[in-house]
A and B are shown apart, each in its own frame.
Chain A
Amino acid sequence: MKDWRYWLAEQRGTLLAFGIFIVMFTIYTSNHPAGFTANVVQTASNKGVLLAFVAMAQTLVVITAGIDLSVGMIFLLTNCLASWLVVGTGIETAFGVVAVLGTGLLCGAINGAIVIYGRLQPIVTTIATGAVYYGIALLLRPFPGGSVNEDLADALTGRLFGVVPASLVVLLAVVLVVWVPFSRSVLGRAAYAAGSSEMAAYMSGVPIRRGKFAAYALAGLLAAIGGLFLTFFTYTGEAAYASGNAYTLFSIAAVVLGGVSLFGGKGSAIGAIFGALAFRTIGDLLFVFDFDPLWQPLFQGVILLIAVSLGAFALFRVRNRLEWFL
């Protein structure tokens, strides 16, 4: 077989998510009253990147065969923190951004430390830490409010050269600066190996713990970038519990749509990004076809079910039924 076939097989999940997104987005823009214009793309992009960042965060943890139910809450906490800190002069704003991102990184690192060194299950750990992060967010912003450096916010949510959505450029930059180095580093490979077969990885002398820790910590960082962007869009901070939970659950949906295996060891954050964008487009589709917004959750659920079923076909090939349970 040729190299490109292996590449294709490896990227199948990502390409499938990309395909689903392109089809849906094409249907969306061709039915939109304004059509495929810079404005429509910018709005869609600004809505999409929020979930995309959170889904990237989720991907890192899911690759290690874990799950992070606190990503939505880190997203809220950093939003509330940004509404206090990312203000004032250029220097002050820069300091604020660093502090917000550092907080996200710390939140992720705490998750990782508890899961890896405390040997607790990721699901329990992150439910608990998620509640703590939400609690802090609520103390920071008991009521919606605050502000943000509007020059920065407008620049990052606007358009470059009048056509390219700036938020999309930032997303690309984050992929290049965070995801690509991680996925190609020894730690990234350790995270994949630990997710696929922790025992085999251990027997091969792979730095499992450091790999998993890096995945959890970077997940916190990515969720914080999402939180920062939420502040740029809304100009405020709000500890909205329902919204935090929705982002957590949607991030899992996006990850699955993007071809990342919940059993670990397989998938890419780029797939998850397209999963997130596709998931967001479902809502928009309903809008252009004049459906009642009440239909949205049901519709999203059906799409998700179909996408997930595609991944289950492999089970039909199993010849020893005990392998179903491995």
Chain B
Amino acid sequence: MDGAVPLFRMEGISKRYGGVRALEKAKLSVTSGSIHAILGENGAGKSTLIKVMAGVVAPDEGRMMLDGSEVTFASPAAANQAGIVCIFQELSLVPELSVADNIVISDPPKRFGMIDRKAQRRIAEEALARAGAADIHPLALVKDLPLSRRQIVEIAKALARKPRILILDEATSALTAADVAKIFGVLKRLRSEGLALLYISHRMNEIAELADQCTVFRNGRNVASYAAGTKSDNEVVELMIGREYSHIFPPKPVRAPATAAPVLEARKLSWTDRLDNISLSVGAGEVVGLGGLDGQGQRELLLAFFGVLRGLSGQILIDGRPATIASPAAARDDRIGMALIPEDRKTEGLMLPMTVRENLSFAALDRLSRAGIIDRAAEQRLIDDMVALLAIKTAGLDIPVGALSGGNQQKVVIAKWLMRQPRIILLNDPTRGIDVGTKQELYQLMRKLADQGAAILFYSTDYDELIGCCDRVLVLYDGAVKRELVGAEITERALIASALNIHGEEMAVRGMAKTPARGMAKTPARGADA
């Protein structure tokens, strides 16, 4: 870093969420007039790092220095005051207010105690012009703007706060190529004006174009800092690899070539700008994984199958026959027999204040009732079966499900759907935030259900799980399937490279040669595919 005094430095920053270690003695230093890229796979600690910097999360230990003196931020407002402004992945715009209202929201110009609308308009126009978006009308309501424009407003809003350090967290993920080019021009100009920019992205080409300095995170630690351009893409992927393996996976069966039509098939599925021409098939007894970085359309794809999205183009086939799935109720119907284990069990999977018993039987009530009256005895039998099958640990069936541990709550969600004996099971990152023991039980269960003939489509942000559980993995990028990995091709290296959309056949080949050996050593139960 050619001897420049860092504007901002953090050292020994650690943060835990319950038992999960998000950051472990992380350090980072940022210089004025440069763009610093942060790299790392899902869950490497990037988001927590910037939340600490922006005053959203208080670190458990460690210290931060600004201009050489130690600082702590009690709130996002305090960080803003110090000149650190962050543009988060989740937008922070108020939808019912106008663009101008939003841009000045933290500190509106005032006259006689009231907001000075003329001054506000002027500030907004300046900020929009600086963000290269003079075509956005300051009076337009944010909720009427498309996502890409909102992201530019978000940048304009950050600029209006006159930051010294600007943090962009996946700020280009919703932008079109033309918008990205504009934003890059803006960012480069800001750098020449002396701002320090922290840029988090998983698009390697963007980083190559923008960054002066790069830092790679892995497992909550920073593993390397280097000047941009001094490492090849392959070397960067190398640095990002190396998760700690802690799971035991059930063996994968050797699969005979499929003869029957796949249970679930999609042909050229597209939806708004989130799904792009996706074709895939899942056969009976098969576990197909969805990989890629978070938010590349995996969730939308599962929702599309489950009948939640409207205006879907393309075709969904069940048992080789075209099917129209108009709602979740239609999807779970016996003719289709689909179940979705949702990502957010607290809002989409469970009714937390209701009892374990009620939650378990919700999805299957129509099967358990005659003429609208619930057959209590049949309900009890089925519930007992499920509690035994999944080993749900609960003090009783009549306590609120919210009182259970996260892992047991997730088991309830799964059991609820298994009560219908689904043929197609969609799982949306089902192991997020649950303990290792329960995770292993879920892996075993998933394989058992597949062996019984279920078709399973499994999205996970944990590459390790995809490697350990799946017969095939489809890697999504920008709403499209970028790569299909089969059997022994499913390696961490291949997953990361294709998730980052790096074209490197050579790398994939090297990965194939190396990984099975490591897999053998660390996960002995996985012998079947080696």
Which residues on A are within 8 Å of B, measured CB to CB? Answer: 1, 3, 6-7, 9-10, 181, 184-186, 189, 192-193, 195-197, 199-206, 261, 264-266, 318-322
Name the one of A6, A193, A199, A322 contacting B308, with C-beta atoms under 8 angstroms.
A322
Binary A-proximity of B76-104 (CB < 8 A = 1, otherwise 0):
11001000000010011111111001100
CB atoms of A322 and B303 under 8 A apart: yes
Q: Report which residue of A201, A203, A266, A318 has the largest number of chain B beta carbons within 10 angstroms of its beta carbon.
A: A203
Name the one of A3, A192, A205 contacting B75, with C-beta atoms under 8 angstroms.
A205
7 examples of A-B residue contacts, CB within 8 angstroms: A1-B137, A6-B137, A185-B113, A196-B95, A203-B92, A205-B105, A321-B310
Which residues in window 263-302 of B have CB below 8 A to A? 271-272, 300
Name the one of A6, A193, A203 contacting B76, with C-beta atoms under 8 angstroms.
A203
Name the one of A185, A200, A318 contacting B94, with C-beta atoms under 8 angstroms.
A200
Q: Which residues of chain A are near B205, meaning CB under 8 Å?
A: none
B182 within 8 A of A: no
CB atoms of A184 and B94 under 8 A apart: no
With A318-B310, A321-B310 in contact, do A195 and B96 touch (Cβ < 8 Å)? yes
CB atoms of A204 and B92 under 8 A apart: yes
Q: Which residues of chain B are near A10, meaning CB under 8 Å?
A: 98, 139, 141
CB atoms of B106 and A185 under 8 A apart: no
Whole-angstrom distance between the Cβ of B168 and the nearest chain A Cβ: 15
B311 within 8 A of A: yes
Q: Which residues of chain A are near B308, meaning CB under 8 Å?
A: 320-322
B148 within 8 A of A: no
CB atoms of A185 and B309 under 8 A apart: no
- The 3 A-B residue pairs whose C-beta atoms are closest, nearest first, are A205-B77, A6-B139, A265-B96
Bound together, the chains give a CA A185 to CA B108 distance in angstroms of: 9
The chain A residue with its CB closest to the CB of B114 is: A184
Q: Which residues of chain B are near A1, meaning CB under 8 Å?
A: 137, 140
Q: Which residues of chain A are near B272, meaning CB under 8 Å?
A: 319
With A196-B96, A203-B92 in contact, do A186 and B141 touch (Cβ < 8 Å)? no
Q: Report which residue of A184, A196, A205 has the largest number of chain B beta carbons within 10 angstroms of its beta carbon.
A: A205
Whole-angstrom distance between the Cβ of B420 and the nearest chain A Cβ: 20
With A205-B75, A322-B308 in contact, do A266 and B101 touch (Cβ < 8 Å)? no
With A3-B139, A203-B88, A318-B310 in contact, do A196 and B303 touch (Cβ < 8 Å)? no
Knowing that A184-B117, A189-B115 are A-B contacts, what are 12 other residue pairs whose CB atoms are under 8 Å apart, sorted by A's residue number?
A1-B140, A6-B140, A184-B114, A185-B113, A186-B108, A189-B108, A193-B97, A197-B96, A200-B92, A200-B94, A321-B310, A322-B303
B510 within 8 A of A: no
Name the one of B88, B105, B113, B310 contacting A193, with C-beta atoms under 8 angstroms.
B105
Q: Which residues of chain A are near B243, meaning CB under 8 Å?
A: none
Q: Which residues of chain B are near A6, meaning CB under 8 Å?
A: 98, 137, 139-141
Q: Which residues of chain B are near A195, meaning CB under 8 Å?
A: 96
Which residues on B are within 8 Å of A, measured CB to CB? Answer: 56, 75-77, 80, 88, 91-98, 101-102, 105-106, 108, 110, 113-115, 117, 137, 139-141, 157, 271-272, 300, 303, 307-311, 327, 348
Q: Report which residue of B110, B139, B157 has the largest number of chain A beta carbons within 10 angstroms of its beta carbon.
A: B139
Q: Which residues of chain B are near A321, meaning CB under 8 Å?
A: 307-310, 327
Bound together, the chains give a CA A170 to CA B80 distance in angstroms of: 43
Q: Which residues of chain B are near A192, meaning CB under 8 Å?
A: 94, 96-97
Bound together, the chains give a CA A162 to CA B197 distance in angstroms of: 68
Name the one of B75, B96, B110, B303 contacting A186, with C-beta atoms under 8 angstroms.
B110
CB atoms of B94 and A320 under 8 A apart: no
Bound together, the chains give a CA A321 to CA B113 distance in angstroms of: 43
CB atoms of A201 and B113 under 8 A apart: no
Bound together, the chains give a CA A195 to CA B108 distance in angstroms of: 18
Whole-angstrom distance between the Cβ of B150 and the nearest chain A Cβ: 11
Bound together, the chains give a CA A185 to CA B97 distance in angstroms of: 14
Name the one of B93, B115, B141 contacting A185, with C-beta atoms under 8 angstroms.
B115
Q: Report which residue of A202, A318, A321 has the largest number of chain B beta carbons within 10 angstroms of its beta carbon.
A: A321
CB atoms of A200 and B91 under 8 A apart: yes
Bound together, the chains give a CA A192 to CA B137 distance in angstroms of: 20
Whole-angstrom distance between the Cβ of B303 and the nearest chain A Cβ: 7
Q: Which residues of chain B are near A202, meaning CB under 8 Å?
A: 76
Whole-angstrom distance between the Cβ of B82 and the nearest chain A Cβ: 12
Bound together, the chains give a CA A124 to CA B91 distance in angstroms of: 31
Bound together, the chains give a CA A186 to CA B77 distance in angstroms of: 16
Q: Which residues of chain B are near A204, meaning CB under 8 Å?
A: 76, 92, 94, 102, 105-106, 157
Bound together, the chains give a CA A197 to CA B137 distance in angstroms of: 21
Whole-angstrom distance between the Cβ of A199 and the nearest chain B Cβ: 8
Q: Which residues of chain A are near B310, meaning CB under 8 Å?
A: 318-321
Bound together, the chains give a CA A92 to CA B56 distance in angstroms of: 53
Bound together, the chains give a CA A320 to CA B301 distance in angstroms of: 12
CB atoms of A319 and B88 under 8 A apart: no
Bound together, the chains give a CA A319 to CA B106 distance in angstroms of: 32
Bound together, the chains give a CA A264 to CA B106 distance in angstroms of: 20
Q: Which residues of chain B are near A319, meaning CB under 8 Å?
A: 271-272, 309-311
Bound together, the chains give a CA A6 to CA B300 distance in angstroms of: 33
Q: Which residues of chain A are near B105, meaning CB under 8 Å?
A: 189, 193, 201, 204-206
Name the one of A7, A185, A318 contacting B114, with C-beta atoms under 8 angstroms.
A185
Whole-angstrom distance between the Cβ of B298 and the nearest chain A Cβ: 14
CB atoms of A189 and B139 under 8 A apart: no
Name the one of A185, A189, A203, A322 contacting B101, with C-beta atoms under 8 angstroms.
A189
Q: Which residues of chain A are near B96, meaning CB under 8 Å?
A: 192, 195-197, 261, 264-266
Q: Which residues of chain A are near B113, meaning CB under 8 Å?
A: 181, 185
Q: Which residues of chain A are near B75, meaning CB under 8 Å?
A: 205
Q: Which residues of chain B are near A193, meaning CB under 8 Å?
A: 94, 97, 105
Bound together, the chains give a CA A164 to CA B50 distance in angstroms of: 61
Q: Which residues of chain B are near A9, meaning CB under 8 Å?
A: 141
Name the one of B95, B110, B300 contacting A197, with C-beta atoms under 8 angstroms.
B95
Bound together, the chains give a CA A319 to CA B97 distance in angstroms of: 23
Bound together, the chains give a CA A317 to CA B469 distance in angstroms of: 39
The chain B residue with its CB closest to the CB of A201 is: B94
CB atoms of B141 and A189 under 8 A apart: no
Bound together, the chains give a CA A9 to CA B143 distance in angstroms of: 13
